[in-house]
A = this chain, B = another copy of it.
Amino acid sequence: MSSFPCNLAIALLHYPVYNKHREVVTTALTNLDLHDIARASRTFGLEHFYIVTPSADQRTLADKIAGHWQDGWGAAYNTDRKEALSIVRVCDTLKNAKADFQSNFSKPVKTVITGAAERSDSITFLELRQALADPDQPVILLLGTGWGLTEPCFEAADHILESIQGTGSYNHLSVRSAAAIMLDRLRGTR
């Protein structure tokens, strides 16, 4: 580990998000979100991946999944998986995730929210990549589950990241795929 830990973290939020009917809900944890995003985060050098849910049961489940690969038989079966899941932190609120990440840095943590829709007031991937060139500027990338983070989340975030656009009007990446592409654009070798 360098003198600063990696200044980019991901928070996967299970509340407050929309469901299909645009109602505000808490989504259930998806096992492969945890695995895929942990593996991609670790591959691109991140040291903190926050699973955020207000549900105590769901936090217990997340701890159990991550723990299986760290202390259970999974740790011996697949050491690569152990290494990826070691960066997972389970939190009840984004505020607590921010506080945990903040403890590593002197500059205030900035939140950068993501979503599938294009928005006029967004920053580009290149701009965020350049901001991350300052190793003491911590950034948490906020990823939503379900049908996406609610409007008040977009208003509360420090920045909105431009959405990933494909080649046509269809634009329905899984949060796992979106996270992988974002990490590659922000930290991949160019």
Contact = CB atoms under 8 A, between A and B. Distances in A.
A189 interface: yes
A185 B187 contact: no
Interface stretch (A40-48, A91-99, A135-143): A40-48
A167 interface: yes
Identify the interface centre among A164, A173, A179: most chain B CB within 10 Å of its CB: A173
A171 B183 CA distance: 13
B40 A173 contact: yes
Contacts of A170: 42-43, 80, 83-84
Interface residues of A, number: 36
B168 A36 contact: no
Q: Which DSSP category, helix, strand, loop or mixed, fits chain A's interface?
A: helix
Identify the interface centre among A36, A165, A168: most chain B CB within 10 Å of its CB: A36
A122 interface: no
8 contacts: A32-B32, A32-B174, A45-B167, A83-B170, A176-B176, A177-B179, A181-B188, A184-B185
Of all A-B residue pairs in the complex, the 8 with the closest CB atoms, nearest first, are: A43-B166, A45-B167, A177-B180, A180-B180, A181-B184, A80-B172, A40-B177, A36-B174
